[in-house]
Structures are given as structure tokens and as C-alpha cells.
Amino acid sequence: MRSYSMRDVQRVLRLSPDTTRNLIKAGFVKPARGARREYCFSFQDLIVLRTARALIDAKIPARRIRRSLESLRRELPESVPLSGLSISAVGDHVVVREGDSQRQVDSGQYLLGLDISMEDGVLRVVEHREPAPPAPVPTVLPGDWFAQALSLERTDPQAALAAWRHAVDEDASNTAAWTNLGRLLHEQGLTTQAAEVYRRALAQVGPDALLLFNQGVLLEDLGNSSAALAAYQSALAEDPDLADCHYNLARLYESLGEAQHAIRHLGQYRRLVSGDSR
């Protein structure tokens, strides 16, 4: 059975690695691991990932999402049939259709419509959405900026950035809002602004493992290996069980020719992801 990498998920589904990891941590999918502990997604995993994101965006309760995804996985074949598939979601009701029976949902505002095919061995997922009438701009109550930013990230990153800024202005101690603001700026290529956000955030809330980890990723992307190492090490001082941080340190130490440090952190990463605490 064919498997797909994290890069395939990003290419086919337009889901960022951060989003995919969050969906995995939430338990919506449980991909296999490859020889180097990389994620290996099945065809079913890909479709469940994309459907989960649509249901989360629509603010469907988590319990109903899990029930819908369990039903979806039971209906999905292990691979794409020659006739193709269509997946539709209306509310938390997900419908799978194959071959000649493919058709769009013909009533109601559907949350997700996917046409799935295999062309020359390449998986293709085409998304369709019914146009929705423009909604009036809601009055945002105190504390709602965080939720609004989350809902806007996929559809309107610029509006999401504005909402994240409102969230940190409203509550400078909100570590998660600072983290998401810095991450989204980084994803949008606004690295100078992202670096300033992480600096301000750490000054406001003090050392935080995820903030320091994200700062390390940014510094590494900017080519500042020594500063990235320091950020990763500080992150582990706050949370020694941050597996992704051990992995990044192992990779970075290997690139710097520090084999002993690389092996130590790679071993710790493998123990953490395998659940072996010895």
C-alpha cells in the first residue's frame, strides 16, 4: 500500500506541517513511522486530515468530529479507485461517493467537497466550495480575538495576523497567541517581524518551550545556527520531552559535524516518539 510523506500532505492538501502535526497530536490520524521515524501517511490518512480541518474550521464539537471521521474511515477504500472518489461534508455528516455515483451535495451549504483521482500515479485532490454570501463583520467581544484568528488562518492569513495582534495587545500574557502570531509571520515570509514578535513575547511571558522552539526554527531558517542551537537548548531546559526539539538539535548538530551530540539527541527523540521513557 502506497504511503505519503509530510511534503506530500503539504503539496496535495495545502496543509502546513504545523497544522498536520496538531491534527496528529489531537488524535484525528495515527500515521505510521518510516525507517527514520518520519511520518508515513496512508491515502485514508490524507482524506481524514483534510476533512478534520474542515470540520474544525466549522467549529463542529470535537466529539462529533471524531464520530464523523470514524465513519468516514470505514467508508474509504485503502487506495484511490480507478473511477475516482468524491467526498462531501455537510455539517458533521460526511458522504463518500465513487464512480458514476459521484455528485455534489445538491442542498444546503456544504463545508467541504473533494474530487479525488489518481493521474499518472500522482494523487490529485480538487476542492470545491459553494459560494457563501458576504457575512456582516461581527462585533468582536473581549477574548474572541484568539478564536477569530484561528478561524481565519487558512482563508485569510492577513486578517488572521491582525486578529493575533489584537489578541496579544488584549492579553500580553497569552503565550499561545504570541506563538501563533510568530509562526504565521514566519510562514508568510515576514521573518524580521517574526523575530521581533518572539523577542517581545519572551520578554513578556518569560521562557516558554514552544516559543523558544519556534524561535529556533526561525533562526535556523535565517542561517544563524549558533543562535538556533541556544534557542533549542533553552526550549529543552523548559520541556525536556519536546521531541521535535531533540530532532531539530540532532539534525543541526549533524550539519555542524558534532556527531556525538547528534546521536544523543536523536536517541532521545526516538525514545520519546516510541513512548519508551527508559
198: domain CATH number?
1.25.40.10
Q: Take residue 249 and report the three cell numbers written for it.
A: 538539535
Cα atoms in the Cβ-side hemisphere of radius 13 Å centred on 150: 15
Among the listed residues 107, 164, 156, the one whose alpha carbon sits nearest the alpha carbon of residue 135: 156
Q: Take residue 89 and report the three cell numbers written for it.
A: 461534508
pLDDT tens-digit series, residues 186-228: 888 899 999 999 999 999 999 999 999 999 999 988 889 999 9
Same domain for 218 and 162, yes or no, is yes
pLDDT of residue 144 exceeding 60: yes
Same domain for 112 and 154, yes or no, is no
Same domain for 114 and 38, yes or no, is yes
Helix residue ranges, H only, the chain:
6-13, 17-25, 43-57, 62-75, 145-152, 157-170, 175-187, 191-205, 209-221, 225-238, 243-255, 259-274
pLDDT of residue 109 exceeding 50: no
pLDDT at 94: 73
Across 115-127, average pLDDT: 69
pLDDT of residue 128 exceeding 80: no
Q: Which has more confidence, 230 or 170?
A: 230
Across 96-116, average pLDDT: 54
Q: Take residue 126 and report the three cell numbers written for it.
A: 480538487
With cut-offs at 50, 70 and 90, classify the pLDDT of residue 116. confident
Among the listed residues 33, 29, 62, 63, the one whose alpha carbon sits nearest the alpha carbon of residue 46: 29
pLDDT tens-digit series, residues 70-99: 888 887 877 777 667 677 776 667 777 765
Q: For residue 162, report the phi and psi dihedrals to the nearest 5 degrees.
A: -60, -40
pLDDT at 262: 92
277: in domain: no
- CA gyration radius for the chain? 21
pTM of the model: 0.52
With cut-offs at 50, 70 and 90, classify the pLDDT of residue 19. confident
Same domain for 118 and 40, yes or no, is yes
Last residue of a domain, one of 94, 128, 162: 128
pLDDT of residue 131 exceeding 70: no
With cut-offs at 50, 70 and 90, classify the pLDDT of residue 156. confident
DSSP 213-273: HHHHHHHHHTT-HHHHHHHHHHHHHH-TT-HHHHHHHHHHHHHTT-HHHHHHHHHHHHHHH
Whether residue 266 contacts residue 250, with contact meaning beta carbons closer than 8 Å, is answered with yes
Cα 131 versus chain centre, distance: 25
With cut-offs at 50, 70 and 90, classify the pLDDT of residue 35. confident
Please give the Cα distance from 143 to 174 (Å, whole number).
Answer: 11
Same domain for 176 and 220, yes or no, is yes
Cα atoms in the Cβ-side hemisphere of radius 13 Å centred on 246: 17
Same domain for 22 and 119, yes or no, is yes
Last residue of a domain, one of 128, 157, 184: 128
pLDDT at 203: 94
228: in domain: yes
Tally of domains in the chain:
2
Same domain for 123 and 15, yes or no, is yes
36: in domain: yes
Give bridge partners of residue 128 from the DSSP assignment: 113
Please give the Cα distance from 204 to 149 (Å, whole number).
Answer: 20
* Domain hosting residue 166, numbered range: 145-239
Across 157-184, average pLDDT: 90
12: in domain: yes
Cα atoms in the Cβ-side hemisphere of radius 13 Å centred on 239: 18
pLDDT at 90: 65
